[in-house]
């Protein structure tokens, strides 16, 4: 993410979350946070605890964020923010929290019948001493149960709004969203099961090999010292293959 991208991102983010932009010079942003945003990105739970406990007037922070430090002479006028910085990371986290659930309708001027879909964006992570992640965006048609991958790529191109357009009407779903969620979870499980898991086998091999080396070190030692068990535990934590499924976001979509 380059300085400009970071800048655009921040501008969008603060506008979208109703934080007032006090100034915007293209390389520096001055923004008045709302109380909610302050709680999310400023890391000061004690301050807010105090304010709420004493019923004092809150004073949410005002941030001066420098997105391109090459353009400012005095760096002390604000906080330098860039890809990789902690603050941006917090803002990413807030984005995730505030963009989790949607219900969207495809827009049109004509009279249309809208079909309900349910979409979940999954992140599947494979962990051992190495990591790999894959995104799956699964959408299920709530009328006939068809499931498609890359659903997000598809809907993000469409003209969608949070309100149903005039003249259009929605078909009643046949599959309940709760049931649809189970189906998608099952689908993910299926995808994972059919994936190539040689990585896990390789990790187990590395694990076994290192365990063999460790055992050799304590070969012939009758009462193995504590450090042996500690090392063994360390090996397990390092190599034991694990799979994690995380939901990024998802929602209901009514499409032509």
Partner 1 sequence: MIIERSSNWREDFIQRFEQDGPWDSWTLYNKSYEIEKMNLIPEFSGLQAPKFLTNIQLLPHQVEAAQTVIEKMNGKAILADEVGLGKTIEAGLIMKEYMIRGIVKKVLILVPASLQNQWVTELNMRFFIPAIAYRKNTPIEHYDVVVMSMDTAKKSPHREKIYEQDYDMIIIDEAHKLKNHKTQIYEFVQSLKKKFCLLLTATPIQNDVFEIFYLVSLLKPGHLGNYESFQASFSTTKNSTDGEKYLKELVNQVMVRNRRQDTGIEWTSRKVETIPIQFTPGEREVYEMIGALKSVSAVFSSSFTMVTLLKEMCSSKEATFLTLNKMIQKCVTNEESEYIEEILAKLMKLEINSKAEKVIEIIEKANDKVIIFTEYRATQAYLQWYLYTKGISSVLFNGKFSKSKRDWVKQLFRQRDQVLIATESGGEGINLQFCHHVINYDLPWNPMKLEQRIGRVHRLGQEEDVHIYNLAIEDTIEQKILDLLGSKIDVFEKVVGDLDDILTRKA
Looking at the Cβ atoms of 139 and 250, the one nearer to partner 1 is 250
Task: Tell which one of 16, 25, 79, 146 touches partner 1 (CB under 8 A).
Answer: 16
CB of 56 to partner 1, least distance (A): 26
- Least Cα distance to 70 among 3, 6, 25, 24 occurs for 3
Binders in 196-215 for partner 1, by CB under 8 A: 197, 199-200, 206, 210, 213-215
Q: Tell me the window of 33-41, 44-52, 107-115, 226-234 that interacts with partner 1 (CB under 8 A).
A: 226-234
Looking at the Cβ atoms of 134 and 174, the one nearer to partner 1 is 134
Tokens of 175: 């599959």
- DSSP string covering 156-220, please? TTS-EESSPPTT-EEPPPSS-HHHHHHHHHHHHHHHHHTS--HHHHHHHHHHHHHHHHHHHHTTT
255 binds partner 1 (CB under 8 A): no
Task: Tell which one of 44, 161, 205, 224 touches partner 1 (CB under 8 A).
Answer: 161
Binders in 101-140 for partner 1, by CB under 8 A: 101-104, 121, 123, 125-127, 129-135, 137
Q: Please name every residue paired with 127 in a beta bridge, in sequence order, or none if there are none.
A: 131, 242
Q: How many CB atoms lie within 10 A of CB 179?
A: 15
Tokens of 8: 């655009």
Q: Tell me the window of 11-19, 24-32, 34-42, 46-54 that interacts with partner 1 (CB under 8 A).
A: 11-19
224 binds partner 1 (CB under 8 A): no
Q: Please name every residue paired with 138 in a beta bridge, in sequence order, or none if there are none.
A: 120
* In the chain, alpha helices (H): 3-16, 35-41, 45-54, 86-98, 151-155, 177-193, 198-217, 226-239
Binders in 19-48 for partner 1, by CB under 8 A: none
Task: Tell which one of 166, 196, 219, 223 touches partner 1 (CB under 8 A).
Answer: 219
191 binds partner 1 (CB under 8 A): no
For partner 1 (CB under 8 A), the number of binding residues is 78
CB of 133 to partner 1, least distance (A): 5
Q: Tell me the window of 21-29, 52-60, 106-114, 157-165 that interacts with partner 1 (CB under 8 A).
A: 157-165
Checking DSSP bridges between strand 62-66 and strand 79-80, what pairing results, if any?
parallel
CB of 90 to partner 1, least distance (A): 12
Looking at the Cβ atoms of 57 and 220, the one nearer to partner 1 is 220
The total number of residues shown for the chain amounts to: 256
53 binds partner 1 (CB under 8 A): no
- Least Cα distance to 177 among 101, 252, 254, 256 occurs for 252
């Amino acid at each position: 993410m380059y300085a400009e991208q970071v800048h655009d991102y921040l501008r969008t983010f603060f506008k979208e979350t109703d934080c007032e932009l006090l100034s915007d010079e293209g390389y520096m942003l001055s923004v008045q946070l709302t109380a909610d945003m302050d709680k999310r990105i400023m890391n000061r739970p004690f301050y807010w605890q105090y304010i709420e406990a004493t019923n004092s007037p809150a004073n949410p922070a005002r941030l001066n964020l420098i997105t391109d430090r090459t353009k400012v002479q005095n760096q002390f006028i604000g906080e330098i923010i860039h890809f990789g910085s902690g603050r941006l990371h917090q803002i990413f986290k807030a984005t995730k929290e505030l963009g989790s659930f949607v219900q969207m309708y495809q827009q049109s001027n004509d009279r249309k019948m809208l079909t309900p879909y349910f979409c979940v964006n999954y992140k599947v992570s494979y962990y051992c001493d190495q990591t790999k992640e894959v995104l799956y965006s699964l959408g299920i048609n709530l009328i006939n149960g068809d499931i498609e991958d890359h659903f997000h790529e598809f809907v993000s191109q469409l003209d969608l709004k949070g309100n149903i357009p005039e003249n259009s009407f929605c078909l009643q779903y046949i599959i309940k969203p709760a049931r649809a969620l189970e189906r998608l979870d099952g689908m993910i499980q299926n995808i994972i099961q059919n994936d190539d898991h040689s990585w896990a086998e390789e990790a187990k091999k590395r694990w076994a090999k290192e365990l063999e080396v460790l055992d050799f070190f304590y070969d012939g030692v009758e009462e193995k010292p504590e450090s042996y068990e500690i090392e063994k535990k360390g090996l397990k934590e390092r190599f034991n293959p694990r799979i994690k499924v995380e939901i990024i976001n998802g929602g209901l979509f009514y499409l032509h």
